[in-house]
Amino acid sequence: MPRQCDICQGARAIIRRPKTGQRVCKECFFRAFETEVHNTIVDNALFRRGDRIGIGASGGKDSTVLAYVMKTLNERYDYGLELFLLSIDEGISGYRDDSLETVKRNRDQYGLPLKIVSYEQLYGWSMDRIVEAVGRKNNCTFCGVFRRQALDRGALMLDLDHIVTGHNADDVAETILMNILRGDIPRLGRCTEITTAGDGYIGRSKPLKYAYEKEIVMYAYLKRLDYFSTECTYSPNAYRGYARQFIKDLEAVRPSAIIDIIHSGEAMKVASGVAMPVATTCGRCGYISSNAICKACALLDGLERGIPKLGVSRSSRDADGAPARAGGAGAAVEPVHFERLRERALALRRQRLGGAEPEPCDAAGAACRCAGTECQ
Ligand SMILES: Nc1ncnc2c1ncn2[C@@H]1O[C@H](COP(=O)(O)OP(=O)(O)OP(=O)(O)O)[C@@H](O)[C@H]1O
């Protein structure tokens, strides 16, 4: 006899939820999944009415589901948000060009404005050319560093208040494990946060932080969402691959392992006395950095001097061990005036405080939670 849905007790259960083990019908699954994301948003006060929110849209399952659910919840609960799709074109032919076509279709399907910003336009280098120069081994370092900054630059162009990304529970659990395995305490402290000030001054959050990847795939499939499912042509990130497989193996024996790792990560406190990076401003492009020169400029410096490994191994020093020069050769990145973002963040905080000056924040550097508006 067909089993009834554990939630509504009426319709036939068609799936077993990977996260809870409940057997549910399609409609109850949709509602439960969406309500959990809504609760994450509300419990963590991720947005304010009137905020302009950029959805980091890669065309993959996570960001497609995020865009769809954000639009659905914004309408259902009247959040009053202005939503935008923000895509970074890394310049990976046969991969990103195809996934961007998916994002363009999502733009039309969901009726959301789309902004595409390319590495070529921002840095003068596409990933295809970077891979020609550096080979396949370290290319993910370039891509990750450039993307983080590119999202902030896109946010500046769209005058956004906040960026959301499709990082899911599996991604967060993986990152916690990787930071433990690497002994990277500052990152371990930050990676469990649902909202960070980003590497620039714009807030970033992960509304799908507690959503299991398997459920995201189920949701996308059952809703027949249009998404792109090919792996990046250049993705040999072996270390993350091992962590991912380990999490999948754990999940197979104990489905709650993913959420348990996240809760453990959230409960850990960085001991006082651990040296944390102190935020300053890149002497070349103005981006927030913990060195005299930000990682993106250091990587570009290496690329343009024909010694790409330079930027990978040392963020602010050149081959002789001397600091990279702020106005150095081939400074292709234009100053981006990130102070505009900082001023905007400060104005928003003043507005929230009814015009009062914000109190100084005593958690400078990586632990800063005020977007650099109080601690600098
Ligand atoms: N090229 C891009 N443009 C805009 N946002 C991006 C881009 N690449 C990644 N992101 C954002 O970062 C999140 C995590 O990216 P990651 O590369 O880990 O992809 P993923 O886990 O496969 O996610 P997705 O399924 O959305 O591609 C994405 O969900 C998306 O919000």
- Distance (Å, rounded) from C-alpha 63 to C-alpha 168? 10
* Structure confidence at residue 332 (pLDDT): 46
Q: What is the pLDDT of residues 190-233, one digit of tens each?
A: 899 998 865 456 889 999 999 999 999 999 999 999 999 988 88
Q: Which domains are seen in the chain, by residue range?
A: 26-272 (3.40.50.620)
pLDDT-derived band of residue 334, with 50, 70 and 90 as boundaries?
A: low
Task: Single out the residue of 101, 95, 91 nearest to residue 128, CA to CA.
Answer: 91
Nearest CA to ligand 1 atom 14: 167
* Structure confidence at residue 277 (pLDDT): 75
> Global pTM?
0.85
Q: What is the pLDDT of residues 340-359, one digit of tens each?
A: 555 666 666 566 566 766 55
Residue 322 above 70 pLDDT? no
Q: ipTM exceeding 0.90?
A: yes
Task: Single out the residue of 340, 321, 359 nearest to residue 281, CA to CA.
Answer: 340
Residue scoring higher pLDDT (135 or 258): 258
59 CA from centroid of ligand 1 (Å): 8
* Structure confidence at residue 34 (pLDDT): 98
58's tokens? 């890669």
Average pLDDT score, the chain: 85
Whether the CA torsion 297, 298, 301, 306 is positive or negative: it is negative
Site to probe by mutation for ligand 1, drawn from 37, 53, 58, 126 as the one with most ligand atoms within 8 Å of Cβ, is 58
Helices (H), 161-286: 169-182, 185-191, 213-222, 238-253, 257-267
